[in-house]
C-alpha cells in the first residue's frame, strides 16, 4: 500500500480566535460552538473509504500544570480546549489521539518539589495516549522515574534507550505503541535525543546507553512491518527540530531523521526538545519570522514526512486533522491552538476573552499547587551577609550576587567552563539570614532557561569583545564567573587570560552558560541562534539547587570582581560613565 503523504488541502486559518470567542461567551450573541472543519471534497467523494482522525499534541511541558499569574497556559484551560476539539471531531465521525513530545520534568518549583506528580496526574486526567521520553526525565534518580511511570496511565515511548539486565542490553522503555483509529492500525514510535548521554546528569544516565535514533528507527520500522503491518506510522520524538537539518552542536533532530528514511516511510513526526513553534515559510525549510498566536502555521515537510512541534509549556495545543482515502494520508488542516497565550508583542487578552479553566481540573490540581506554595516557604540556606541585588548597584558594578548566579548556572550535569549573567535579570537582594525558595524567585522572577554554548577561543574573543563592553547602567552589563580577562573599553577588545583554571588559547574550545533571553539577542547581545543549546533548566531553579547544596553562603566568597579588569574607561567597574 502506498503510504506517501500528500496534502489534498491545507487549511491554515485563524480558527483559534473563533475558539477563544466561543469559549469566552463574549459579545451580544453567545456562540455555542466553534466553526467545524468539514471534510474535503475529495474525502466526501470517497464516502465510507475516507477515514478522518485528529492528532493533538504538546511538548516540553516543564512543570506547568498550573496557570501563570496572568491566567496564561495551565492544564485546566488546556482541558477545556481539548474537550471542545474532541467534541467537534466526534460529531463529525472522527477520532482523536493526544500525544506528548516529552520533557514533563523540571522548570517550575511547585512541580519540581513534588517530583512532577501533579503533572502526570494531570496528563491522565487530560487523556494523553502516549509520550516520548525527554532528556529531562533523567533529571531525577531512577526511583523517581519509576514512581512517575507508575502514576502514568499512558506509555512512555523510546526505542533508543537501553539498560543492562543480567548482563544484557535491553530497551528501557516501550519502543512503540499500536492504536486502532477509524479501523486503521497506527503505530507510534518513540525516540529520544542521543545527546542525553552528554547533557543528562551523569549520575543518572551513566548506566544507560543512548543509541542512534536514525538506526533504531530503521530497525523498529522493519520490526513493525514484519510483525504488525501498520497502515500508518508516526514518530513521537524528543530530538529537536532544526531548520533544514542544521543541528549545529546538537544531536541530529527530526529533519535528519526524516531524511534518513525512505520518502514517506513515516507519515508525520510529532516532536519536542527545541521548544519552538514549527511554523514554516512556504517550502523553504526556514521558520516564519516571529510567529504569533492566531496566525496560520504550516508544519515542516521533509522527504514526504510532516514534522510538527507546539512550542513549549502548553502554550499551544497542536491540532493536525488527517484524512485517509485511496490508500493515502492527507493533512487537511493544521493549527496551533493558543492556551491563553500572550501575543507576539507580549500582551495578554483581557479576562473575558480567556479560555475558561475546566473546574474539575482545577479542583484536581489545586491541592498540589497549595502544597507547592507551602514548600516555597521552607528554608533552603543561610546568608551570612546581604547579597546586594539593588538596581543601582548590580547594573553599575560586578557584585557577589551576580557572580554567584553566573557560577550557579555553570553547575550543569556536565559543568560549563564559565558563566555570564546580565544585570537586568537580577531583581532583588538576598538578605542576611534564612534563605527561602520564594526569596530566590524574587531575585530571578523571569523563568529564563539557561543556555550553554561552545566556541573556540577565537570565536569567544570576538563574542566577548561585544558582551563585556555593555555599559554600566544598562541591563546588559555583565557579571562573569570562571573567567579572567582585561576589557579595553576604548579599543573595544578583550584580553582573555584564564578560562576555568586553564590558560586561554585561541584554538581550544570553551563552554559557557547564558540566560536564554540574552542568547536570543536580549539587551542587544549577539544572537547565538543554533549555537546556544537550551538546557531546559530554569535560572531560579538552578540558583535554588545551588543554595540548597551549599547551605551557608558568604558574599565574600563570591567577590571576584578583580578577575575582570576594565581599562580606558571613566570607571574601573565597567565601560561607560
pLDDT at residue 346, as a whole number: 84
* Structure confidence by residue, pLDDT tens digits, 178-196: 999 999 999 999 999 999 9
366 & 456 share domain? no
156 & 253 share domain? yes
Catalytic residues: 60, 62, 103, 135-136, 139, 238, 273, 275, 391, 395, 427
* Structure confidence by residue, pLDDT tens digits, 491-541: 999 999 999 999 999 999 999 999 998 998 889 999 998 899 989 899 999
| Number of compact structural domains in the chain | 2
| CATH number of 486's domain | 3.90.780.10
Q: Give exposure, 436-447, as e/b (b: 16+ Cβ within 10 Å).
A: bbebbbebbeeb
What is the bridge-based pairing of β-strands 305-308 and 300-302? antiparallel
Mean of pLDDT values over 563-571: 96
pTM for this prediction:
0.79
* Structure confidence by residue, pLDDT tens digits, 88-127: 999 999 999 999 999 999 888 899 989 999 999 999 999 9
63 & 80 share domain? yes
Which of residues 342, 372, 402 is at a domain's end? 372
Half-sphere exposure at residue 128, Cβ-oriented, CA atoms within 13 angstroms: 29
The three grid cell numbers given for residue 314, joined into one nine-digit string: 502548553
Q: Which residue has the cell 546586594?
A: 388
pLDDT at residue 397, as a whole number: 96
Is the pLDDT at 16 greater than 60? The verdict is no
* Structure confidence by residue, pLDDT tens digits, 121-136: 999 999 999 999 999 9
Other C-beta atoms closer than 10 Å to the C-beta of 14 total 12
361 & 449 share domain? no
Which of residues 372, 389, 408 is at a domain's end? 372
63 & 135 share domain? yes
Which of residues 327, 345, 372 is at a domain's end? 372
Find the angle CA(539)-CA(537)-CA(315) to the nearest 5 degrees.
95
Is the pLDDT at 451 greater than 50? The verdict is yes
361 & 408 share domain? no
Is the pLDDT at 15 greater than 50? The verdict is no
203 & 323 share domain? yes
Residues 539, 426 contacting (CB under 8 angstroms): no
Q: Which residue has the cell 537582594?
A: 429
Is the pLDDT at 247 greater than 90? The verdict is no
Least confident among 65-79, 240-254, 374-388, 549-563: 240-254
Backbone CA torsion sign across 263, 266, 271, 277: positive
284 & 403 share domain? no
What average pLDDT is seen over the chain?
Answer: 92
* Structure confidence by residue, pLDDT tens digits, 376-393: 998 999 999 999 999 999
138 & 264 share domain? yes
Q: How far apart are CA 81 and CA 212, in angstroms?
A: 36
Residues 517, 426 contacting (CB under 8 angstroms): no
Beta bridge partners, 419, equal: 481, 513
Residue 39 lies in a domain: no
How much helix, strand and coil, in percent to the nearest 5, is found in the chain?
Answer: 30, 25, 40
408 & 513 share domain? yes
Residue 172 lies in a domain: yes
What are the backbone dihedrals phi and psi of residue 495, each rounded to the nearest 5 degrees, phi first? -115, 100
pLDDT at residue 199, as a whole number: 81
Is the pLDDT at 9 greater than 70? The verdict is no
Residue 175 lies in a domain: yes
Determine the structural domain holding residue 557 and report its residue range.
Answer: 378-567
Quote the strand ranges of 303-431, DSSP E: 305-308, 316-325, 328-338, 379-383, 418-422
363 & 451 share domain? no
Q: How far apart are CA 535 and CA 413, in angstroms?
A: 10
Residue 40 lies in a domain: no
The three grid cell numbers given for residue 572, joined into one nine-digit string: 574601573
Is the pLDDT at 22 greater than 50? The verdict is no
Amino acid at each position: 500500500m502506498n503510504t506517501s503523504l500528500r496534502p489534498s488541502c491545507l487549511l491554515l486559518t485563524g480558527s483559534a480566535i473563533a475558539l477563544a470567542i466561543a469559549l469566552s461567551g463574549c459579545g451580544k450573541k453567545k456562540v455555542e460552538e466553534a466553526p467545524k472543519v468539514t471534510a474535503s471534497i475529495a474525502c466526501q467523494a470517497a464516502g465510507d473509504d475516507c477515514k478522518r482522525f485528529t492528532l493533538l499534541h504538546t511538548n516540553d511541558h516543564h512543570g506547568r500544570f498550573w496557570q501563570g499569574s496572568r491566567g496564561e497556559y495551565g492544564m485546566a484551560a488546556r482541558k477545556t480546549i481539548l474537550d471542545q476539539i474532541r467534541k467537534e471531531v466526534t460529531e463529525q465521525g472522527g477520532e482523536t489521539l493526544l500525544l506528548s513530545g516529552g520533557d514533563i520534568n523540571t522548570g517550575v518549583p511547585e512541580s519540581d518539589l513534588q517530583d512532577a506528580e501533579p503533572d502526570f496526574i494531570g496528563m491522565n486526567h487530560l487523556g494523553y495516549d502516549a509520550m516520548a521520553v525527554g532528556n529531562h526525565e533523567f533529571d531525577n534518580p531512577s526511583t523517581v522515574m519509576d514512581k512517575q511511570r507508575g502514576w502514568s496511565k499512558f506509555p512512555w515511548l523510546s526505542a533508543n534507550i537501553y539498560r543492562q539486565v543480567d548482563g544484557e542490553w535491553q530497551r528501557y522503555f516501550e519502543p512503540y505503541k499500536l492504536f486502532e483509529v477509524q479501523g486503521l492500525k497506527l503505530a507510534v514510535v518513540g525516540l529520544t535525543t542521543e545527546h542525553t548521554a552528554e547533557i543528562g546528569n551523569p549520575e543518572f544516565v551513566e548506566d544507560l546507553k543512548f543509541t542512534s535514533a536514525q538506526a533504531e528507527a530503521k530497525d523498529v520500522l522493519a520490526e513493525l512491518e514484519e510483525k504488525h503491518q501498520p497502515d500508518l506510522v508516526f514518530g513521537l520524538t524528543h530530538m529537536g527540530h532544526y531548520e533544514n537539518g542544521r543541528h549545529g552542536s546538537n544531536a541530529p533532530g527530526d529533519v535528519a531523521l526524516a531524511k534518513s528514511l525512505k520518502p514517506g516511510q513515516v507519515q508525520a513526526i510529532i516532536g519536542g526538545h527545541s521548544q519552538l513553534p514549527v511554523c514554516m515559510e512556504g517550502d523553504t525549510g526556514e521558520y516564519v519570522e516571529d510567529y504569533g498566536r492566531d496566525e496560520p502555521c504550516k508544519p515542516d515537510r521533509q522527504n514526504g514526512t510532516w514534522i510538527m512541534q507546539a512550542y513549549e509549556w502548553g502554550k499551544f495545543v497542536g491540532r493536525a486533522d488527517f484524512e485517509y482515502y485511496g490508500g493515502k494520508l492527507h493533512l487537511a488542516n493544521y493549527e496551533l491552538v493558543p492556551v491563553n497565550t500572550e501575543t507576539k508583542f507580549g500582551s495578554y487578552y483581557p479576562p473575558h476573552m480567556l479560555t475558561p479553566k475546566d473546574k474539575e481540573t482545577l479542583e484536581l490540581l489545586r491541592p498540589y499547587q497549595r502544597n507547592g506554595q507551602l514548600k516555597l516557604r521552607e528554608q533552603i540556606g543561610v546568608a551570612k551577609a546581604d547579597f546586594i541585588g539593588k538596581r543601582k548597584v548590580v547594573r553599575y558594578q560586578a557584585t557577589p550576587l551576580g557572580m554567584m548566579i553566573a557560577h550557579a548556572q555553570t553547575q550543569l550535569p556536565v559543568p560549563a567552563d564559565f558563566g555570564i549573567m546580565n544585570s537586568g535579570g537580577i531583581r532583588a537582594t538576598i538578605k542576611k539570614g534564612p534563605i527561602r525558595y520564594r526569596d530566590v524567585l524574587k531575585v530571578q522572577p523571569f523563568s529564563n532557561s539557561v543556555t550553554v554554548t561552545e566556541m573556540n577561543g577565537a570565536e569567544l574573543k570576538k563574542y566577548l569583545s561585544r558582551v563585556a563592553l555593555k555599559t554600566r547602567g544598562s541591563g546588559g552589563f555583565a557579571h562573569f564567573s570562571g573567567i579572567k580577562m582585561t576589557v579595553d573599553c576604548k579599543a573595544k577588545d578583550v584580553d582573555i587570560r584564564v578560562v576555568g583554571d586553564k590558560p586561554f588559547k585561541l584554538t581550544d574550545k570553551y563552554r559557557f552558560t547564558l540566560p536564554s533571553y540574552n542568547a536570543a539577542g536580549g539587551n542587544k547581545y549577539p544572537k547565538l541562534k543554533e549555537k546556544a543549546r537550551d538546557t531546559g533548566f530554569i535560572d531560579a531553579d538552578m540558583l535554588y539547587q545551588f543554595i540548597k547544596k551549599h547551605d551557608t553562603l558568604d558574599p565574600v566568597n563570591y567577590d571576584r570582581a578583580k578577575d575582570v579588569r576594565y581599562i580606558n574607561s571613566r570607571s574601573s567597574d565597567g565601560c561607560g560613565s
